[in-house]
Amino acid sequence: MIAPHGGMLIDRILTGRDQTDCEDRARQLPAIKLDPSHLSELDNIASGLYSPLTGFMDEENYNSVLDSMRLADGTVWPIPIVLPVADATARALHVGSTIALAGDDGITYAIMQVRGTFVRNPKREAQAVYGTTDVAHPGVAQLHTESKTLAAGEIHLIKRVPVNISAEYHLDPKETRRAFEERGWKTIVAFQTRNPIHRAHEYLQKCALEMVDGLFINPLVGQTKEGDIPASVRMQCYHSMIDNYFPRDRVILATFPAPMRYAGPREAIFHAICRKNYGCTHIIIGRDHAGVGKYYGTYEAQEIFDKFTVDEIGITPLKFEHAFYCKKCAQMATSKTCPHENEDHVFLSGTKVREMLAAGEEIPSEFTRPEVASILQRGQPPF
């Protein structure tokens, strides 16, 4: 099986006596409250999804990621994973001290050994990660709502962070790796999405499935922007597709509990690394992967992989052209396989589906399967 990023799958989840002792100790510690997004990041670090990270980044790693898309030791890593804290809280933190990390619910989920605090420059971070400082970009807007002061340190998880989807779909990397091995899969392709599945998605997935042993449909269920279709509705759509249009013994559906950053090219690398940690050998990278609006070039998220060697990333991107339904071919196609003109093509996207739903329009079969259209239309109004 493919090695985790950095060579070792991180596990910072305490169990047994260690968990009990740490829980007792945490009651005596000063606590910092984390919002749902950073609680999710905490759990993702602990489960190994963000291997090789063992905690929230310090200033050296943070700057290295912004400048070179690498950790300080040279390991490829494109997105800063950081913990914003209030200035008053930061002043009370001391290098070498231990603090508790709690949620808004008052529950303590982890402890952290403080390695220091530092101050971010939001404009610099936005330009590096998102390629823009425009606050209309949802990732940039989110960045500006957070404190400029960041706390760094290694974490130990005491209690798992709740997820908003049934636990049976929330699989840690060690669990997906076990599931792949049990099925005898040696090559696995991941499909990342924050949208309900449509015909272009199905086409890319089935093309990829011709090349590998198994398909890992891994929809993002973390924080998304306003207007995106809720995870619960999207999960129904994926189920319907698997039940009706895929060989069930060649597909696994599990959720990706990270927040959506809309960071385009950098997030494509991040998504690939996380799926490598799940045990995937390939990942589908289509048109405008992790994009939003007009901030990124159509295939910029594919081109960024050319900046690194195969060994550095470790997972193979499957780069697909923009897929569409061709009325003359009467099937899905791309510019590589279809000779007909644009007026014969029906271009599909999650944005277009959301626009049709908002307008109360019926979704045609060229866009998505009727079972999926029915689920989406029952979900209105509004999402």
Tell me the catalytic residues: 194-195
Read off φ and ψ for residue 278, nearest 5 degrees. -70, -20
Stretch (H or E) spanning 323: none
CA distances from 167 to 125, 126, 256 (A): 34, 34, 12
Torsion of CA 276, 279, 285, 289, to 10 degrees: -60
CA distance 193 to 198: 11
Handedness of CA 313, 300, 335, 351 (dihedral sign): positive
Q: Using the 8-state DSSP alphabet, how is residue 52 labeled?
A: T
H helices within the chain, ranges in order? 16-26, 36-47, 59-68, 87-91, 122-130, 138-145, 173-182, 199-209, 231-245, 265-278, 300-303, 310-313, 350-358, 370-378
Q: How many CB atoms lie within 10 A of CB 299?
A: 18
CA distance 208 to 238: 17
Q: Among residues 323, 317, 322, which one has the least CA distance to residue 270?
A: 317
For residue 45, give both structure tokens.
């670090």
Residue 376's Cβ-side half-sphere holds a number of Cα atoms within 13 Å equal to 30
